[in-house]
A = this chain, B = another copy of it.
Amino acid sequence: MSDATPPRPPAARRSRRHDPGRRDRLIDAALTVIAERGVAATTHREIARVADVPLGSMTYHFTSLEEVLAEAFTRHAESVARVFDERLSAAPDREAAIEAVIALVADDLLGSRHDLVLSVELYVAAARNPTLRAVTQAWMTRSRHALERHFDATTARELDALIEGLVLHSALSTDPMTPEQIRHAVHRFLR
């Protein structure tokens, strides 16, 4: 035993040798960084710090930073779309579907804003990155199809846009809309 006082990294990190889920955790860490600090501040080093992993681990698991961002945003979009899908599938009728939509919007607003910030960051990134544009496109198509379980195609598209606007405007405002106000707007549109 010659390592009485190893001056290397802290023990907590040392013990992580060979963990199979590391790549996944790195993607999650990337999402955390994007949500908290923005895409611009999302660097190899920052992600590694959040995931408590050495810098070299980033270049081992990903060939470039762009790949990390793409995978992270893909995971985010799929996760949001899945919830949207599930809740609308579970709705037995049109009335229940409307309530589900309102609940989803309210969740987004009252929640940690984590998801909302991620979405807007994705929009901006998608404006200049074809890969991310495809991710956004797939996401939008999926939520529209989810709405089409209960509404005709035109209504689905318009309602989707209304939801987007309500969430975004509300989130950027100093006095966000209440669930009641959301309900009012949605019902007014669908009346």
Contact = CB atoms under 8 A, between A and B. Distances in A.
Interface stretch (A13-21, A87-95, A158-166): A158-166
A161 B140 contact: no
Interface string A134-161: 0011001000000000000010011011
B126 A124 contact: no
Nearest to A129: B38
A120 interface: yes
B128 A124 contact: no
B40 A172 contact: no
A62 interface: no
Q: Looking at chain A, what size class is its interface with the partner chain?
A: 35 or more
A161 B170 contact: yes
A99 interface: no
Query: How many identical chains are in the complex?
Result: 2
Contacts of A137: 172-174
B120 A173 contact: no
A128 B140 CA distance: 26
A164 B169 contact: yes
A123 B168 CA distance: 9
Contacts of A117: 127
A133 to B, nearest CB: 8
Contact of A124 (B124, B140, B170): B124
